[in-house]
Chain A
Amino acid sequence: MNQLSPGPNHSSNHPQALNLPRAQLAPGDATRIAIEGIRARPLRAALAGLGIALGVTALVAVVGLSESSKAQINQELDALGTNLLTATAGNSFGGGQAQLPQDAVAMVERIGPVQQAAGVGNINASIYRNDKVDPIKSGGIGVNAATRSLKDTVGLVIADGQWLSAITEQFPTTVLGSTAADRLGITAELIRSTNPTQVWLGNHWFTVIGLLEPSDLTPELDSSALVSWPAAEKYLSFDGHPTTIYETSSDTSVDAVRNVLAATVSPSAPDEVQVSRPSDALAAKAATDAAFTGLLLGLGAIALLVGGLGVANTMVVSVLERRQEIGLRRALGATRRHIRNQFLGEAVTLSVLGGIAGAVLGILVTAIIATFNGWPISLPIWAISAGLGVTVLVGIVAGIFPASRGAKLPPTAALSI
């Protein structure tokens, strides 16, 4: 055949085939070029990175605050304990408030793992600051008979004065929940004064001997006036039937106790007994926060998307402006891949710098708000690394189109003005 014909034998014409050196760019040089490209236009870089920074700030802060408030609730739960169960008389089969048997508290105390048990019985009476108050203005304060064991079982804390004792329970005395005391206008000063403070309760004068701190686990007691069991029977014609039983056991036996509690409290009508764990309500609060967190995370993601568009826009402008630089680099031997990677590198660097700024801001926001609310600061490392990982992705997605455009520019077109 004709040896002179310039057949399409690419391999023999390829520099590699002729043992000629390739065009190449060391990774270190590529990184330096990307950073230089950003440093040459600092204001534009800052503005483009700002969107990313805000997005990451939102993501990190939302996770941080959610985790910190969860940590706070968990701390509260640890302090309060999750071993308190309540058994409440529900509605009877025929309608109306069901009653628990008079010996229900004693029965519960006999369950093996139960450590403490107490009963509270609703009394059909009203409490007033004095006997001149219009009976209609009862103030919504419930009057309850309480066994002496209630304070320790539930973990009530006396703010002022004292709890019901073996002696005081023989007399018309009452201990007020924090809300009840507020509504009646009974202050700590009145309790501490030498003159006994009296209230008009069920047509009898009762002496207030103590005030309670607000209770996280049993908020229903905050708005009630507690009267001792014997005094309630003696002065208020209380029938001795409890309406709610409180009990605590060891943490490990809570479920076992829960299974037998209704039947123990009311063997004849266990279906009418509602058993609940007050700490569940607190735990549910953490779960409610999670739904809100999801919403905020969504907003953070949108901010990040907008930030990504900002980076993409900046890179498009950058490629248009730097046609000559692209042309020069091609003349110096840069391949299309080198040009693409340069602009892609710039986009990713821009995005990651914004991400780092955002992570720092997010940590600060979390620390400030958590400290302000008295929460422990809890920021999982996965949130920060996920935030930064996402910025790399955003940088690549935002940079790939403008970078490819720059790479496809023919060298002659890039060099012409």
Chain B
Amino acid sequence: MTGTNLDHRHLVLEADDLTRVFGEGGTEAGRVVALDGVSLTIAAGELAALVGPSGSGKSTLMHVFGCLDTPTGGTLKINGIGVSLLDDNALSAVRAHQIGFVFQQFFLNQTQTAIENVADGLLYTGIPRAERTRRASDALQRVGLGDRLTHRPSELSGGQRQRVAIARAVVGNPPLILADEPTGNLDSQASADIVALLHALNYEGTTIVVVTHDLKLAALFPRQIQMRDGSIVADVVAQP
């Protein structure tokens, strides 16, 4: 069964025959096809895992989905916006307003408090500082860190740090959240907590794509998109 049964809903991501070739124009030996014609849609409200072994192209796909990298072929729409041909400034605008990122290494500013880190998720959106701080407080409540607003990353556990990073990703309520190995640096208990948090946020309506190499982790999510050698080899939606 595929995800096409969700197509009547609003699509936050539409990829059609995406390719990404590195070293194009160089020698044939230096040419690497990282994405070899990827077509995929993600509907609003989905919680999907993009899973594949190292070198399968899942990281490249996540970068392209996240508008951090541009495809060499095919078309991509994020929340209805055709992004394939956008320039660098326009892609920055799409990232600022349409996409939230969660990284394996958290990437928190060590000199800032939790609420300041989360508020930075809205830094480049043009929202005034007071409003950013207010929304950051709400986002930290959502991830269960309402009592850790003024803690610095060094005063938080690994799981709590990742919660701060997740709060930063959801603070602007973007249509799409991309989480790259969100549990990669966490122990099993903290990992389970993060998975539960992602489920809870998804239940509230957030669309999340988790990128991972871990099949067992991927199996915890309703939809698993499996990649190998730059192509999607399976797209499985679990029965509710």
Interface, chain A (partner B; CB < 8 A) = 6, 8-10, 13-16, 18, 20-26, 28-29, 36, 39-40, 324-325, 327-338, 410-412, 415, 417
CB pair B89–A23 under 8 Å, yes or no, is: yes
CB pair A21–B92 under 8 Å, yes or no, is: no
CB pair B111–A334 under 8 Å, yes or no, is: no
CB pair A23–B125 under 8 Å, yes or no, is: yes
Residue of A10, A338, A412 with most chain B CB atoms under a 10 A cut-off? A412
CB pair B81–A20 under 8 Å, yes or no, is: yes
CB pair B121–A332 under 8 Å, yes or no, is: yes
How many angstroms from the CA of A85 to the CA of B125 in the assembled complex? 77
B155 within 8 A of A: no
Given A21-B97, A36-B111, A415-B103: A6 and B85 within 8 A (CB)? yes
CB pair A6–B86 under 8 Å, yes or no, is: no
Which chain A positions have C-beta within 8 A of B129?
26, 28-29
Which chain B positions have C-beta within 8 A of A333?
92-93, 95-97, 123-125
Which chain B positions have C-beta within 8 A of A15?
81, 86, 90, 93-94
Contacts A/B (CB < 8 Å), 18 sampled? A6-B82, A13-B85, A13-B86, A15-B93, A18-B81, A23-B89, A23-B93, A29-B129, A324-B105, A327-B107, A332-B120, A333-B95, A333-B96, A333-B125, A335-B88, A336-B88, A411-B69, A415-B103
| Residue of chain B at shortest CB distance from A21 | B97
B156 within 8 A of A: no
| Residue of chain B at shortest CB distance from A417 | B105
Given A6-B75, A13-B85, A15-B86: A331 and B125 within 8 A (CB)? no
How many angstroms from the CA of A114 to the CA of B2 in the assembled complex? 116
| Residue of chain A at shortest CB distance from B132 | A29
CB pair B111–A13 under 8 Å, yes or no, is: no
How many angstroms from the CA of A337 to the CA of B87 in the assembled complex? 13
| Residue of chain A at shortest CB distance from B68 | A411
B57 within 8 A of A: no
**How many whole Å from A331's CB to the nearest CB in chain B?**
5
**How many whole Å from B134's CB to the nearest CB in chain A?**
16
CB pair A24–B109 under 8 Å, yes or no, is: no
Give residues 83-139 of B contacting A (CB, 8 Å): 83-90, 92-97, 101, 103, 105, 107, 109, 111-112, 120-121, 123-126, 128-129
| Residue of chain A at shortest CB distance from B82 | A13
Given A21-B97, A332-B123: A6 and B84 within 8 A (CB)? yes
**How many whole Å from A87's CB to the nearest CB in chain B?**
78
CB pair A24–B84 under 8 Å, yes or no, is: no
CB pair A415–B68 under 8 Å, yes or no, is: yes
CB pair B92–A23 under 8 Å, yes or no, is: yes
B63 within 8 A of A: yes
CB pair A23–B96 under 8 Å, yes or no, is: yes
Which chain A positions have C-beta within 8 A of B93?
15, 20-23, 333
**How many whole Å from B57's CB to the nearest CB in chain A?**
13
| Residue of chain A at shortest CB distance from B110 | A40
Interface, chain B (partner A; CB < 8 A) = 63, 66, 68-69, 75, 81-90, 92-97, 101, 103, 105, 107, 109, 111-112, 120-121, 123-126, 128-129
**How many whole Å from A10's CB to the nearest CB in chain B?**
6
**How many whole Å from A352's CB to the nearest CB in chain B?**
21
Given A412-B68, A415-B103: A40 and B124 within 8 A (CB)? no
How many angstroms from the CA of A328 to the CA of B117 in the assembled complex? 11
Which chain A positions have C-beta within 8 A of B95?
23, 330-333
CB pair B126–A24 under 8 Å, yes or no, is: yes
CB pair B90–A26 under 8 Å, yes or no, is: no
Which residue of the partner chain, among B88, B112, B121, B125, contacts A21 with CB atoms under 8 Å?
B125
Which residue of the partner chain, among A8, A10, A330, A335, contacts B68 with CB atoms under 8 Å?
A330
CB pair A331–B88 under 8 Å, yes or no, is: no
Which chain A positions have C-beta within 8 A of B125?
21, 23-24, 333
Which chain B positions have C-beta within 8 A of A22?
89, 93, 126
How many angstroms from the CA of A14 to the CA of B88 in the assembled complex? 11
How many angstroms from the CA of A335 to the CA of B124 in the assembled complex? 9
How many angstroms from the CA of A417 to the CA of B89 in the assembled complex? 24
How many angstroms from the CA of A9 to the CA of B126 in the assembled complex? 27
Which residue of the partner chain, among B66, B89, B111, contacts A335 with CB atoms under 8 Å?
B89
Which chain A positions have C-beta within 8 A of B68?
330-331, 410-412, 415
Which chain A positions have C-beta within 8 A of B97?
20-21, 23, 333
**How many whole Å from A17's CB to the nearest CB in chain B?**
9
Which chain B positions have C-beta within 8 A of A336?
88-89, 92
Which chain B positions have C-beta within 8 A of A335?
88-89, 92, 124
CB pair B86–A14 under 8 Å, yes or no, is: yes
**How many whole Å from A174's CB to the nearest CB in chain B?**
82
CB pair B84–A23 under 8 Å, yes or no, is: no
**How many whole Å from A88's CB to the nearest CB in chain B?**
76
CB pair A331–B101 under 8 Å, yes or no, is: yes
CB pair A325–B90 under 8 Å, yes or no, is: no
Which chain B positions have C-beta within 8 A of A23?
89, 92-93, 95-97, 124-125
Which chain A positions have C-beta within 8 A of B94?
15, 20
Which chain A positions have C-beta within 8 A of B103?
328, 415
Given contacts A10-B85, A14-B86, A332-B101, 4 further A-B pairs with CB under 8 A are A24-B126, A26-B128, A40-B111, A332-B123
Which chain A positions have C-beta within 8 A of B83?
13
CB pair B85–A25 under 8 Å, yes or no, is: no
Which residue of the partner chain, among A9, A325, A330, contacts B92 with CB atoms under 8 Å?
A330
Which chain B positions have C-beta within 8 A of A14?
86-87, 90
**How many whole Å from A332's CB to the nearest CB in chain B?**
6
| Residue of chain B at shortest CB distance from A30 | B123
How many angstroms from the CA of A335 to the CA of B129 in the assembled complex? 19
Which chain B positions have C-beta within 8 A of A324?
105, 107
Which residue of the partner chain, among B87, B121, B124, contacts A338 with CB atoms under 8 Å?
B124
Given A6-B85, A335-B88: A25 and B124 within 8 A (CB)? yes
Which residue of the partner chain, among B86, B89, B109, contacts A325 with CB atoms under 8 Å?
B109
